[in-house]
A = this chain, B = another copy of it.
Amino acid sequence: MAENNIISPENLVYEKTSVLTDRVLHYCPGCGHGTAHRMLAEVVDELGIQGDTIGVAPVGCSVLAYYYFDVDMQEAAHGRAPAVATGIKRTMPEKYVFTYQGDGDLAAIGTAETLHACNRGENFLIVFINNGIYGMTGGQMAPTTLPGMKSSTSPYGRDVVTMGNPLKMTELVAELPGTCFVTRQSVHTPANARKTKRALKKAMEYQKQNKGTCFVEIVSNCPSGWKMTPAESNKWMEENMFPYYPLGDIKVPS
């Protein structure tokens, strides 16, 4: 065992940021939502903007995000977070505003609000957690569910002919002049989590410069919805989700 004296304040290299509250997260074991929350909270912490940040929670597993982020937050109707954030940012232009949305929320019912906020170039950050499934309601097919992937509403696998194709919202919004920074990341390894954090930080900095909409997709797992252990889910994600949703920057400000 390490000598006890290592554990002393001056040696501290990593601890939970105080921008996350001390509430126990309600997420399933190994769910990427928690890590994604922390990365975003650390960015708010490091930029010193806790008092200037307003978040918008979606309807989805992260509906209670407002219990964990220690910033002022609003809970939006399913899919409408970008409209709610528009209402906030337009009337509070000096604040840092973000939405945090799942793939059902953002890419199904919220398609129009997402696309139009991005098209108007609303000056806020959209964090998009793509886990290929409706986690909260019990594992139904999402717009991003992969071809052949099973869910409670595609029990024999997603049949693209009848159920449609996985929707790459991130690539679509990158086409819009209103978006300034569009990237796809993950949080399932330390390296990826750190990259995500850097992306989120950049996004907040662009927001300060009023550069337009920043859109950070985080491809994530849903062990419960996918009916896998966390480890299996991360492996499955690497092998199946990443080829379809390749990680990396899609659009960076010129």
- Whole-angstrom distance from the CB of A86 to the nearest CB of chain B? 10
9-residue interface stretch from A31-39, A52-60, A158-166: A158-166
- Whole-angstrom distance from the CB of A137 to the nearest CB of chain B? 18
A17 within 8 A of B: no
Contact of A115 among B115, B160, B163 (CB under 8 A): B115
Contact of A119 among B143, B161, B162 (CB under 8 A): B143
The digit string for A219-239, where 1 denotes a CB below 8 A from any CB of B, is 000000000000000000000
- Whole-angstrom distance from the CB of A93 to the nearest CB of chain B? 11
Within 8 A of B (CB), among A120-171: 120-121, 143, 160-165, 167-168, 171
| Inter-chain contacts of A48 with B (CB < 8 A) | none
Interface of A is mostly: helix
| Inter-chain contacts of A111 with B (CB < 8 A) | 111-112, 115-116
CB pair B163–A120 under 8 Å, yes or no, is yes
Taking residues whose C-beta sits less than 8 angstroms from the other chain, chain A's interface range is 20 to 34
Cα–Cα, bound, A111→B118 (Å)? 13
CB pair A121–B167 under 8 Å, yes or no, is no
A109 within 8 A of B: yes
| Inter-chain contacts of A115 with B (CB < 8 A) | 111, 115, 167, 172
Within 8 A of B (CB), among A67-116: 108-112, 115-116
Question: Which of A115, A175, A176 lies at the interface centre, i.e. has the most chain B CB atoms within 10 A of its CB?
Answer: A115
Contact of A112 among B109, B162, B176 (CB under 8 A): B109
Cα–Cα, bound, A175→B165 (Å)? 12
Cα–Cα, bound, A178→B147 (Å)? 13
22 contacts between A and B (CB under 8 A): A109-B112, A110-B112, A111-B112, A111-B116, A112-B112, A115-B115, A115-B167, A116-B167, A119-B143, A119-B167, A120-B163, A120-B164, A120-B165, A121-B160, A121-B161, A121-B164, A160-B177, A165-B177, A165-B178, A167-B176, A172-B172, A175-B175
Task: Using CB atoms and an 8 Å cutoff, list the residues of chain A in contact with chain B.
Answer: 108-112, 115-116, 119-121, 143, 160-165, 167-168, 171-172, 175-178
10 A-B pairs with least C-beta separation = A120-B164, A111-B112, A112-B112, A165-B177, A119-B164, A119-B167, A111-B115, A165-B178, A172-B172, A119-B165
